[in-house]
Structure 1
Amino acid sequence: MDTISSFCFAKPIGATNAPGFHAAPVIALDTALPLMHIFVHFPTIRKLMMKTPPSWLALWDKSLEGYLHLRTMLGQQIRDILADPSTLSNAPHPIIYHSLLGIKDPIDDIGSINKPLISRPISTSDLDEEAFLLVFAGSDTGGNVLSSGLIRILDNPRVHQRLKQELQEAWPSLENKPRYEDLEKLPYLRAVVKESLRMNHAVVNPMTRVVPKGGASIGGHFVPEGTTVGMSNCFVHWNETLFSPDARVFRPERWLEPEAENLDSWLVSFGKGPRSCLGINLGNCELYLAFANIFRKFDLRLDGFSATDLKWRDVYLPLHIGSDMNIFAAPSIA
């Protein structure tokens, strides 16, 4: 959440500095996550909740106080920008409002004015919706892939050792930090990232689409125009024909085999086509940097938890259930 709030709004919320890592906004999102099914299937309830004063929500559920803080922070930023767009010149880097409002990028050497991403006039509620969408989409998705991937790596000594060895060879001195561009060239790290994305799926609930005019042929069947269709990423990622053998087994080596390039088109964690995730590059950057830093800088082992304990239920995203994921960690001596 620190990454997405810094990148999109230039206002990090300081989640990683919270005592015990119990950051109120993170807890608030975790509390709200089980409501996603209600919001998806009953949009009127979502709209009512968005119009409900945050202080009322906090009275209803104290764990939503972090939501109040986040909404207040973003709302104030939006109001300040709409009142005086020149305040964007104080941002340390381009943020989402430069593009949404078509305001000149202060770091743009060309000096041209951006074309607004939304053609109609943008209201405060429009910007509020966009901001919260980015926070929700950019937090739990990457966090889930990192946590579940971490457990699966540590639960497999062979994978763990091979990853550590590659990182130690490519990053011999901790003082000389590699760039993302260097890390994404490491074959086994790349395989680990892809397999972690495949096994977590990102979004597990079917992403609905409406069949365009004229209808379409889907899976050999004609579907008339206007029909709402969708398919879960799980059915692709766990397909034994595509990811054989053992599609439900965490095996990074599958991405290093001769036919591995053919698998890339079936990795749909970020979606595909014109409606694919806007944050795919940022998401990949986070995963490479996080996995590399964690496994290069620390010696880790599981504490009473294994990959078989990774159970989740579908609340649009995979919501992990059960005991906490506990890990012993010590600074790496190499």
Structure 2
Amino acid sequence: MLIVFWCIEYGSIVRTAPDEVHVSDPKAIPIIYPTQQPLKKTDWYLTYRPVTLGPGPDLFTDDDEKHHAAHRRIVGPVYTLSSMLKNERALDDLVKLFGDKLGGFADCQDAFDFGLWLEMFSFDVVGAVFFGSPFGFLETSSDYGNYIAAVHTALPLNSVVAMAPLWIRRYLLQVGVMIPKVLKAIIATDGVRKTAVRETGVAQERTSNANANRTDVLSQLLSIMREKNDCLTIKEIHVEMWAAVIAGSDSTSGALRAIFYFLMKHPDKLAKLVQQIDTAYLDGTITHPVQYNQATKMPYLRAVIQESLRLCPPFAVPMARYVPVGGLQLLGHHIPAAFKVGMNAMVTQFDETVFGKDAREFRPERWLEGEERFRLMEKAMLVFGAGTRTCIGRHLSNAEMYKLVPHILHHFTVEMAHDGPWKTHNATFLLQSNVICKVKRRSVENRPL
């Protein structure tokens, strides 16, 4: 990534355009992303707004801080950890199904695209937790609705369009429609919109029964709409569901790919984690199926997840904000009003003053060097955003990681099917490919599938 080398060459504040600066120093996080009087998001976000669902934004693209805060207060309770864990049984079922599918590959000893299967798992989790039932990626062993192909084609297009001046973006999209692959992605992405609208209608009929007691996100949002009348509209619920499908899968699957990839490339770390997991099963620290509140008590698992997210954050672009009237004092520099200023997790999370001289290396042990050091590093992490705009879906993402990783590593030996590296492509989300693997069943006590 070019900005990494610029920061090494020119320092922690780099002017990347006439009216834009990039900052790498973690000390700037509370200045650029404060919890009080937050800076306004730039027009970069507008490209990702779901205009086909109506004029309103989703939480990610909302550039009106007051509207964002008000809307988040309404829907926020649905996204809390306790609310997400009401759906833990559905996660258990999908973790088991994923293990069953890997068992098929283990039995025939075929190499397979592990990264793709992790993405199918994440999409099905979104279906189960948000809509009330999995989409069917794992069950059918296929790209349901062509969603994955659509997102992977649409993201690079959007990432290019988002960097262009606002006035020319519409024309770039019109030109893009002439490209068959892009047109196909647009049609498939519209299928996501139709799914959001259709499933919301189905859920409305389902939850009209006063005795209905469902815990999926859609049902809970519809309940809020009925109880609070004008505080939440049906179109806003459509947008919530659309955003969950588009953003909720690539982010978590990217994190899962990173976790398994780094472990496979560092056999000593993998062996250490597997030993902790096996011991935890034997002494009853974790059970079958793995529960989230059990898995989070394994220190080395937490360290591996943190380190993987540090080295390969799923969201890898500057989270740009407009400098307010009067300018901004930033690390000894004055940034003029109306400038764009932002930070990129792919740069900040490599800061040697916080993470050490070996910041570019995969070393989970750095997260086990005392609680004070852990908190210092955690404050420098931008994986789930910062300030008032932290990712509202982070609890579900964490639940997926903490539940799936120990289950798979306890039941299977996972290894790369080739000696080459993976391939990464930054298209707003950091997309990885070439994670082609083979798996073998492990003979371990106390391991019922």
Query: How does the TM-score come out when normalised to structure 2?
Result: 0.61
Distance 2:210 2:193 in 1: 19
Distance 1:123 1:226 in 2: 35
**Which residue, out of 349, 359, 384, partners 1:270?**
384
| 1:22 equivalenced with 2:143 (yes/no) | yes
Deviates most, 263-272 or 184-193: 263-272
- Greater helix content: 2
What's the CA shift string for 1:193-222, capped at 9, x where partnerless? 101111111211111222345433223222
Residue type of the partner of 1:75? Answer: V
SS at match of 1:171: helix
Q: CA separation of 1:77/1:182 partners in 2, compared to 1, >3 Å: closer, same or farther? A: same
CA positional deviation for 1:41: 3.6
Distance 2:138 2:396 in 1: 18
Distance 1:117 1:209 in 2: 28
Task: Confirm or deny: 8 A CA contact 1:211 1:224 kept in the other structure.
Answer: yes
Aligned equivalent of 2:77: none
Distance 1:49 1:102 in 2: 39
What's the CA shift string for 1:2-60, capped at 9, x where partnerless? 112222222421112233x4332222222222122145345678889999xx9x99996
| 1:185 equivalenced with 2:297 (yes/no) | yes
Task: Confirm or deny: 8 A CA contact 2:274 2:410 kept in the other structure.
Answer: yes
CA positional deviation for 1:98: 3.9
SS at match of 1:204: coil
What's the CA shift string for 1:245-290, capped at 9, x where partnerless? 3211111011011323321111210011211110121111111111
Distance 2:153 2:342 in 1: 26
Identity %: 25
Aligned equivalent of 2:424: 312
SS at match of 1:291: helix
Residue type of the partner of 2:384? Answer: F
Aligned equivalent of 1:282: 396
Q: Structure 2: give runs of 5+ residues left out of the alignment.
A: 1-122, 445-449
Distance 1:84 1:162 in 2: 47
Residues 251-266 of structure 1 aligned to structure 2 (within 5 Å): 251-258=363-370, 259-266=373-380
Distance 1:45 1:73 in 2: 30
Distance 1:230 1:60 in 2: 29
Distance 1:27 1:176 in 2: 34
What's the CA shift string for 1:66-107, capped at 9, x where partnerless? 435433221223456679983797572142464478335xxx
Q: CA separation of 1:50/1:97 partners in 2, compared to 1, >3 Å: closer, same or farther? A: farther
Distance 2:365 2:181 in 1: 50
**Which residue, out of 327, 341, 347, partners 1:229?**
341
SS at match of 2:197: helix
Distance 1:69 1:289 in 2: 30
Aligned equivalent of 2:189: 67
Task: Confirm or deny: 8 A CA contact 1:99 1:114 kept in the other structure.
Answer: no
Query: How does the TM-score come out when normalised to structure 1?
Result: 0.80
Aligned length: 314
Task: Confirm or deny: 8 A CA contact 1:204 1:232 kept in the other structure.
Answer: yes
Distance 2:419 2:130 in 1: 35
**Which residue, out of 144, 154, 160, partners 2:270?**
160
Aligned equivalent of 1:107: none
Q: CA separation of 1:166/1:236 partners in 2, compared to 1, >3 Å: closer, same or farther? A: same
Deviates most, 286-295 or 165-174: 165-174
Aligned equivalent of 1:144: 254
Q: C-alpha root-mean-square deviation of aligned residues, in Å?
A: 3.5
